[in-house]
Structure 1
Amino acid sequence: MSVPTDRIVAGILLMVGFTVTAPVMDTFAKLAGDFVPVGQIVAARFAIQVAILFPLAGLMRVLVRPTPGDALLHLARAALILLATTAFFAALRHMPLADAIAVFFIEPFVLTLLGALFLGESVGWRRIAACVVGFAGAMMVIRPSFAAFGPVALLPVCTAFCFASYMVLTRRIARRMTPVALQAWTALAACLLIGPVLVLARGTEIAPLQTVWPEGRVWVYLAGVGLAATVSHIFISGAVRLAPTATVAPLQYLEIVAATALGYAVFGDLPDTQTFAGIAVIVAAGLYVFVRERHLSRPPLPPP
């Protein structure tokens, strides 16, 4: 089902913004993971989002109280993004950043399929081809190996399915709510879900759900996780508000470019020749989607 009011190009640009800022969040999370348990990092992320977005939404006068139906959607989105974030942050404690993201990149396939099944979006062969080409480029960048990482390599797969479902629910509600208000309510719902879990787990043997007092630069890492998460998810909420999920899904492969660059700059993972070839393939697939959708969104020329 086509949506003529979609501002496709703006949605694509917002999605590109997400692909640049999301790996920044992951980088801070990987840095913090050496000092703070995963559950606390996740909780800090959403607590910072609440602290930023609720005052901002109030100033913008967009903080409308959700209906009971929307409240349930916020809770569902919060549960999905909690699972996705926790699984991915846990993977980052053992896997290089680019490796984890490469495994995660089954997600655009899942998202494109879910968009067609549950949102009635048109999925043509060109979009499917863009997904395939982008995925091939991602595999050229990092060849994930389940033999190398064991069951940990399944965690980004869990993230992919949860995040794709989160995106579909975002698309369902994003047209009725601004991105700032949408992320504010979902962050609050996430805090309400994870807060009691951390309290009940205190003193148990569940190490990922324990809490510690951060020291020194760890505060900066946690603040970086929350700030980057806030910005990136405002971008993605705006993207799926303006453009069909099947259009923006292939662009997620651009995230591997930022992840590879950050992996090299922060963790010393030096890309090889095949990595750069894969990045070129990913960028080409993303640019193809952008140029094609921009062309399709132009109004037809008037008759002579």
Structure 2
Amino acid sequence: MIKGVFLGFACYAAYAISDAFVKSLHGTLPAYEAVFFGALLGLTALPFIRKPGDRWREVLQARRPKLWWTRAITGAICNIAAVIAFTALPMAEAFALIFLLPIFVTILSVLFLKEHVGWRRWTAVIAGFIGVLVVLRPGFRALGAGHIAAMVCGLSGAGSVVALRMAGAHEKRISLYGAGVIGPLVTGGVLMLPAFIWPNLHQWWLLAGYGLLAGLAGVLLMLATQIAPANRVAPTQYSQMLWAISFGYWLFGDHLDWPMLIGIALILAAGLFTLVREEQVTRWWRRTPIV
């Protein structure tokens, strides 16, 4: 259990460092291009995720193709939106809006899975959106594409999670991971062609850090959920906020005011409560292979 949780923290540290690498590009490359090369390097994780008996073609094949395509499309949207958000916003602010994901999962579960949601989780949903209003303060500060991108990332990520729930134990890990990589790879590759910019040496270094660390994080998460219940591993994702605040302050000169910190705390508390409450009600973490 302890080892699995530790691997979870290591996984989300790798994800946070990966995000810092892509933020360091400062928008010098189109988001589509960064997503393409990141996904291409993310393929390096496949040999570690592939189990004995898995076939390579199962990266592209699934028993339930519609759900595979849903994960591929939402994964592409989520990755592109995340790159835009991290290059345009302070890291902590981007993470706060992306962490609306568990709240969006609750709403989508009601719409598509017909799941019953009690008053406690609805309260968490409302608290989360109040936190968003405190962070954004529309009418009092300028809002831009980065804010919209961060929320689109959270919403598309939630769609991917709901598709994962519906797939459940019917799909292999290699297929689930493949959908999350092939979607961004193909979409980013097609969209980058009209305005392709050949990266310089420094940009190659940043792209390598972004893609390889994201692939490493995927492997660490798989190992973590193999040796510890996924419901114990999932809350470790909120450690990314500590990394985001640290990297934002020390590397990028980000500054957060008190209202923004209060809003971030509301969003994090609402999301974490939603995760814990869902385990008590649905227990889907235990029966769904998380990648």
TM-score (norm 2): 0.71
- Report the counterpart of residue 42 of structure 2 in structure 1: 49
Residues 3-42 of structure 1, C-alpha deviations (whole Å, 9 max, x = no match): xxxx9x9999887666544433322111124432211100
- Report the counterpart of residue 21 of structure 2 in structure 1: 28
Distance 2:130 2:217 in 1: 25
- Report the counterpart of residue 249 of structure 2 in structure 1: 264
Q: Which of 196, 207, 225 is the matching residue for 2:210?
A: 225
Distance 2:79 2:65 in 1: 21
Distance 2:74 2:147 in 1: 19
Go from structure 1 to structure 2 and tell me whether the alpha carbon gap of 1:112 and 1:70 turns closer, same or farther (over 3 Å shift): same
Q: Which has the larger radius of gyration?
A: 1
Q: Give the alignment of 1:130-169 within 5 angstroms.
A: 130-133=124-127, 142-143=135-136, 145=138, 147-169=141-163
Distance 1:128 1:18 in 2: 30
Distance 1:295 1:83 in 2: 30
Q: Give 1:49 shift.
A: 1.1
Go from structure 1 to structure 2 and tell me whether the alpha carbon gap of 1:220 and 1:151 turns closer, same or farther (over 3 Å shift): closer
Q: Give 1:89 shift.
A: 1.4
Q: Which of 168, 172, 177 is the matching residue for 1:183?
A: 177
Distance 1:84 1:145 in 2: 24
1:213 corresponds to 2:206 = no
Contact persistence 2:101–2:155 (CA under 8 A): yes
Distance 1:139 1:102 in 2: 12
Go from structure 1 to structure 2 and tell me whether the alpha carbon gap of 1:280 and 1:166 turns closer, same or farther (over 3 Å shift): closer
Contact persistence 2:100–2:154 (CA under 8 A): yes
- Structure 2: gaps (5+ residues): 284-291
RMSD between aligned residues: 4.3
- Report the counterpart of residue 288 of structure 2 in structure 1: none
- Report the counterpart of residue 61 of structure 1 in structure 2: 52
1:110 corresponds to 2:95 = no
Q: Give 1:222 shift.
A: 1.0
Distance 1:251 1:120 in 2: 28
- Report the counterpart of residue 302 of structure 1 in structure 2: none
SS of 2:251's equivalent in the other structure is helix
Q: Give 1:183 shift.
A: 1.2
Distance 1:10 1:170 in 2: 25
Go from structure 1 to structure 2 and tell me whether the alpha carbon gap of 1:90 and 1:272 turns closer, same or farther (over 3 Å shift): closer
Go from structure 1 to structure 2 and tell me whether the alpha carbon gap of 1:33 and 1:253 turns closer, same or farther (over 3 Å shift): same
- Structure 1: gaps (5+ residues): 1-6, 202-206, 298-304
Q: Give 1:45 shift.
A: 1.1
Q: Percent identity?
A: 26
- Report the counterpart of residue 68 of structure 2 in structure 1: 74
Distance 2:241 2:137 in 1: 13
Go from structure 1 to structure 2 and tell me whether the alpha carbon gap of 1:258 and 1:231 turns closer, same or farther (over 3 Å shift): same
- Report the counterpart of residue 3 of structure 1 in structure 2: none
Contact persistence 1:44–1:226 (CA under 8 A): yes
Distance 2:81 2:120 in 1: 32
Distance 2:190 2:54 in 1: 25
Distance 1:115 1:92 in 2: 27
Residues 161-208 of structure 1, C-alpha deviations (whole Å, 9 max, x = no match): 222111111222352345455213531343234334434x2xxxxx4x
Go from structure 1 to structure 2 and tell me whether the alpha carbon gap of 1:191 and 1:165 turns closer, same or farther (over 3 Å shift): same
The aligned amino acid for 2:96 is A
The aligned amino acid for 1:221 is L
Go from structure 1 to structure 2 and tell me whether the alpha carbon gap of 1:89 and 1:190 turns closer, same or farther (over 3 Å shift): closer
The aligned amino acid for 2:201 is E
Q: Give 1:111 shift.
A: 1.1
